């Protein structure tokens, strides 16, 4: 079992941050102060007692608004075995009505304690720390899920397992060439129904989700390996280098080579 937490810390640092990249999901829980968060060109002001959830697929930037800024930061491994737990889907799914920012309301005290416990467990590993982090992360995600509006209670629906299974397949084997018709036939469902149910739960189309998986894999290869662009294209399932470079720049604002230059050798700064 892989521990779900890549990094967990509490910080009061308010210094400006350079652009950075992390191939993971993130949760930032603001305990004091105010920040402005931009996620896929949508801006939010987040204050103490609120948290913001970033998918590994969501481009984001953060600027500090107040003189004080205290927060917990959790970085969650999207490839951990526990990702198959259905509650982890709220980290990447964005159905209609979903908001990245969540106010904890009357539950602030219990969230404070839970984030503190996760951070301390991560910083000072004990016997069975991986198991404890798994349990604590599950507890946190369940508490977050219970705070969401009833209209977003999609985990209990019949089609959730189908959609989740397709997501996991794409994430583990993004280089494979997929056909909507073949996937629909496998689940004994029409293509139109498959497309509708997938987008209703995830917020994106089937093929757009696959593209996100391919781009995430490409970023990992760009920053962590010396593979050539043509090798990355082949490993990630893109049709050719031109299509890959064009798509990458359109969705990330930079070419693959520029991205590698900026972030190669690590996932950017450690502080948000």
Residues 169 and 131 in one domain: no
Residues 224 and 90 in one domain: no
Q: Is residue 172 pLDDT above 50, yes or no?
A: yes
Instruction: Answer with the one of 152, 171, 197 that is the final residue of a domain.
Output: 152
What values do phi and psi take at 134, rounded to 5?
A: -60, -45
pLDDT tier, 265 (very low <50, low <70, confident <90, very high otherwise): low
Cα–Cα distances (Å) from 172 to 48, 86, 213, 216, 263, in that order, read 37, 16, 9, 11, 23
pLDDT in tens, 21-57: 788 999 999 999 999 999 888 899 999 999 999 999 8
Task: Please report where in the chains the tokens 């190669």 appear, as a residue.
Answer: 264
Residues 11 and 126 in one domain: yes
User: What is residue 269's predicted lDDT score, i.e. its pLDDT?
Assistant: 41
Instruction: Answer with the one of 130, 152, 174 that is the final residue of a domain.
Output: 152
Instruction: Answer with the one of 152, 168, 196 that is the final residue of a domain.
Output: 152
Q: Is residue 116 part of a domain?
A: yes
Distance CA 113, CA 30 (A): 13
Question: Of the given ranges (2-16, 26-40, 163-177, 192-206), which has the lowest mean pLDDT?
Answer: 2-16
Residues 18 and 139 in one domain: yes
Which tokens belong to 107?
Answer: 């539950």
Q: Is residue 205 part of a domain?
A: yes
Count CA atoms within 13 Å of residue 134 on its CB side. Answer: 13
Q: The CATH number of the domain where 257 resides is what? A: 1.10.10.60
Question: Of the given ranges (86-100, 173-187, 232-246), which has the lowest mean pLDDT?
Answer: 86-100
pLDDT: is 123 or 15 the higher one? Answer: 123
Q: Is residue 140 pLDDT above 80, yes or no?
A: yes
Residues 95 and 124 in one domain: yes
Which tokens belong to 202?
Answer: 């995830």
Measured from the Cβ of residue 234, the count of other Cβ atoms closer than 10 Å reads 15
Q: Is residue 234 part of a domain?
A: yes
Residues 41 and 134 in one domain: yes
Look up the domain containing 240 and give its range. 160-263
Q: Is residue 82 part of a domain?
A: yes
Q: Is residue 90 pLDDT above 80, yes or no?
A: yes
Q: Is residue 230 part of a domain?
A: yes
Residues 116 and 233 in one domain: no
User: What is residue 59's predicted lDDT score, i.e. its pLDDT?
Assistant: 83
Angle between helices 206-224 and 229-236 (to 10 degrees): 140
Q: Is residue 184 part of a domain?
A: yes
pLDDT: is 241 or 264 the higher one? Answer: 241
Q: The CATH number of the domain where 27 resides is what? A: 2.60.120.280
Residues 141 and 169 in one domain: no
Residues 143 and 208 in one domain: no
Q: Is residue 96 pLDDT above 90, yes or no?
A: no
Residues 214 and 108 in one domain: no
Residues 235 and 201 in one domain: yes
pLDDT: is 219 or 265 the higher one? Answer: 219
Estimate to the nearest angstrom the gap between the alpha carbon of 108 and the chain centroid: 23
Q: For residues 198-226, give the mean pLDDT.
A: 94
Q: Is residue 268 part of a domain?
A: no
Number of domains in the chain: 2
pLDDT tier, 83 (very low <50, low <70, confident <90, very high otherwise): low
Distance CA 242, CA 1 (A): 38
Residues 144 and 170 in one domain: no
Q: Is residue 269 part of a domain?
A: no
């Amino acid at each position: 079992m892989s521990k779900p937490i890549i990094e967990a810390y509490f910080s009061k640092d308010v210094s400006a941050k350079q652009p950075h990249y992390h191939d993971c999901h993130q949760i930032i829980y603001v305990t004091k102060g105010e920040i402005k968060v931009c996620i896929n060109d949508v801006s939010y002001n987040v204050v103490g007692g609120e948290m913001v959830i970033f998918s590994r697929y969501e481009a984001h930037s953060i600027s500090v608004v107040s003189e004080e800024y205290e927060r917990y930061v959790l970085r969650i491994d999207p490839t951990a075995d526990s990702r198959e737990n259905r509650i982890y889907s709220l980290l990447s799914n964005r159905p209609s009505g979903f908001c990245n920012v969540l106010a904890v309301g009357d539950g602030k005290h219990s969230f404070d304690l839970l984030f503190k416990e996760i951070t301390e467990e991560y910083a000072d590993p004990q016997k069975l720390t991986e198991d404890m982090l798994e349990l604590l992360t599950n507890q946190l995600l369940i508490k977050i899920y219970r705070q969401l509006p009833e209209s977003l209670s999609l985990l209990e629906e019949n089609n959730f397992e189908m959609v989740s299974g397709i997501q996991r397949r794409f994430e583990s084997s993004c280089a494979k060439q997929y056909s909507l018709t073949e996937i629909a036939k496998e689940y004994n469902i029409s293509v139109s129904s498959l497309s509708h149910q997938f987008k209703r739960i995830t917020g994106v189309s089937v093929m757009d989700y696959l593209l996100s998986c391919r781009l995430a894999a490409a970023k990992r290869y760009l920053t962590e390996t010396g593979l050539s662009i043509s090798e990355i294209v082949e490993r990630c399932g893109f049709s050719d280098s031109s299509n890959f470079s064009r798509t990458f720049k359109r969705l990330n604002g930079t070419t693959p080579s520029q991205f590698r230059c900026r972030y190669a050798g690590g996932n950017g700064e450690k502080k948000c």
